[in-house]
Structure 1
Amino acid sequence: MTEKKVTKKELNQIFWRSFALQGAFNYERMQNLGYVYTMIPVIKKLYKEHDDQVKALNRHMEIFNTTPAVAPTIMGISAAMEEQNANNPDFDASSISAVKASLMGPLAGIGDSLFWGTFRVIAAGIGISLATQGNIFGPLLFLILYNIPNIFVRIAGLKLGYRVGVNSLERIQREGLMDKIMAMTTTVGLVVVGGMVATMLKIETPLKFNLKGAKVNLQEILNQIMPNMLPLIVTFIVYFLLKKKVSITKLTLGILAAGIIIHWIGIL
């Protein structure tokens, strides 16, 4: 019997379809419909019988959720495992779903740290710094800086996932390398956020008062104690409210209202 094999054509289709991963996001099974959509070309190529195609599609209808940029890595592994299942009657098809479930969490941790916590923050910081100067290239530079690593990881991850299958990623997870990568990327992201608070959040007080005939500038005193103390305090307040599950909408409106009132009073 001729061996059934996934070709470059199907892998290219997975890559392009992966951008629609969250197009049908739902709160029951999250990204499952988008995942099924990416796997359709592979399933049609490997399984000619209608019942076999239905079984394969149902396999990928299970809950799935990970960072979109790293999803093609898992999709490549799924394609490799579907290929093994189509060629080997003794292959355990349930392992395909098991591998997806075991990898989507650890890879999401890495993906979130890299893309939401690091690349997006750095790209936004550079783009905003230009935009605040009235440079129209600011938003464009943000999109460029963010999407270069995004697209690279999608392409490289898809090829890697299909080429090495499941064994290499299982070894990486077993040896604890994923936890180390997550820790490093999280640290970089926090450093970048701290730098943005100090350089881009401008909060100063104009309060001045006389103390036994001497004029005292409150902002100068705060700067001597700790430069950018007020931005740091406001950041911690916002973080505390987020930890208390205050909604983003209420928090945003509250900050706007408080800013207007405090500025009108003359405190800030």
Structure 2
Amino acid sequence: MSSNYEYKGVINKRDLRKVFLHAITMEHTWNYERMMNDGYLYSMLPALQKIYTNPEDLKEACKRHLEFFNTTPQCITLPLGITVAMEEQRANDMENFDTTSISSVKTAIMGPLAGIGDSFIWGTLRILATGVGTSLALQGSILGPILFLLVFNVPSFILRYVLVYAGYKFGSDFITSAEESGVMDLISKAASILGLTVAGAMAAEMVYLTVPIAIGSGESATTVQAIIDGIIPGLLPLLLTGFVYMLLNKKVKPLVIMFAMMALCIVCAFFGILA
């Protein structure tokens, strides 16, 4: 829905600081259905409430940010800053701005950012902090847990703070130049393709489904899983992901799907149908 008021850009450093502070609670409302969506909207609220003075426009913007989102929480302020800038651009040209580009950019960012963020935060910084903390704790020093918290959290909070401003500046400058050159539609399409590619790769990598039933005997024996992999590798995870997606589209509750899959897997594993 469009409104008739004129927008002139109102976001300042204080507003971005509020986004940063709200983002600290990002994982407090994490859920299995859409993961960080509630926290993402809560973090965006200070900016959205200032950008959209029309209640209907604010409601529409809030709905946009209730979609699925998940990435490394310490890096979440980068996409937050970018989407604040995009919402500002949208409010400045509500008739022509394609709101789907906001979702496309968010989807394209979260996968690669999670890979980089997890490697740095969980794979490097956490290990370093644990090494420093445990070495002192084993000696009976109270500095062990204190240094662990400091070594891990101080860089994490600095990163969150810097990224919200970097994301906003990058998003604002990038979107302006992209719209002036007329390539925004191409970027949105490319972002959608990249996002779908990342989602497909995550399904193939993270969904594990194996049928160990053997066919034949002796050295010539093979498994059903080997036959399936010879036809299309990763076919079973793909089919399972598609089936769950179909159930979600039919409004089946995620918790119902999870418990049903758990029960089915236990039964199939007991009878040797699944490994």
TM (norm. structure 2) is: 0.60
State the alpha-carbon separation in 2 of the partners of residues 2 and 61 from structure 1: 24
Task: Please name the residue that 2:19 is paired with.
Answer: 14
- Give CA-to-partner distance per residue, 1:24-82, whole Å, 9 cap, x none: 11100001000000011111101111110111000000000000000001100010000
1:48 aligns to 2:53 (yes or no): yes
How far is 1:94 from its partner?
A: 1.1
State the alpha-carbon separation in 1 of the partners of residues 122 and 133 from structure 2: 15
1:37 aligns to 2:36 (yes or no): no
Task: Please name the residue that 1:123 is paired with.
Answer: 129
Aligned residue type for 2:56: D
Task: Please name the residue that 2:28 is paired with.
Answer: 23
Task: Please name the residue that 1:99 is paired with.
Answer: 105
Task: Please name the residue that 1:141 is paired with.
Answer: 147
Name the larger-Rg structure.
Answer: 1
Aligned residue type for 1:118: T
State the alpha-carbon separation in 2 of the partners of residues 18 and 110 from structure 1: 19
Task: Please name the residue that 1:67 is paired with.
Answer: 72
Percentage of identical aligned residues: 44
How far is 1:2 from its partner?
A: 5.0
State the alpha-carbon separation in 1 of the partners of residues 38 and 79 from structure 2: 15
How far is 1:4 from its partner?
A: 2.5
How far is 1:83 from its partner?
A: 0.4
Aligned residue type for 2:60: K
Task: Please name the residue that 1:249 is paired with.
Answer: none
Alpha-carbon contact 2:7-2:91 (below 8 Å) kept: no
Task: Please name the residue that 2:158 is paired with.
Answer: 152
Aligned residue type for 1:141: L
Equivalent residue runs for 1:1-268 within 5 Å: 1=6, 3-89=8-94, 90-165=96-171, 167=174
What 5-or-longer segments of structure 2 have no aligned partner? Answer: 1-5, 176-186, 192-275
Aligned residue type for 1:60: H
Aligned residue type for 2:47: V
- Give CA-to-partner distance per residue, 1:81-138, whole Å, 9 cap, x none: 0000001121111111111111011001111000100000011011000000000100
CA gap of 1:59–1:87, structure 2 versus 1, over 3 A, is: same
State the alpha-carbon separation in 2 of the partners of residues 24 and 163 from structure 1: 28
What 5-or-longer segments of structure 1 have no aligned partner? Answer: 175-268
State the alpha-carbon separation in 1 of the partners of residues 31 and 7 from structure 2: 39
TM (norm. structure 1) is: 0.61
State the alpha-carbon separation in 1 of the partners of residues 55 and 103 from structure 2: 20
Aligned residue type for 1:82: E
State the alpha-carbon separation in 2 of the partners of residues 63 and 111 from structure 1: 18
State the alpha-carbon separation in 1 of the partners of residues 9 and 123 from structure 2: 41
Aligned residue type for 2:149: L
57-66 or 143-152, which deviates more? 143-152
Two-structure CA RMSD over aligned residues (Å): 1.8
State the alpha-carbon separation in 1 of the partners of residues 7 and 98 from structure 2: 21
2:28 is paired with a residue whose SS is coil
State the alpha-carbon separation in 1 of the partners of residues 103 and 11 from structure 2: 19
Task: Please name the residue that 1:201 is paired with.
Answer: none
Task: Please name the residue that 2:266 is paired with.
Answer: none
How far is 1:5 from its partner?
A: 2.3
State the alpha-carbon separation in 2 of the partners of residues 135 and 20 from structure 1: 31
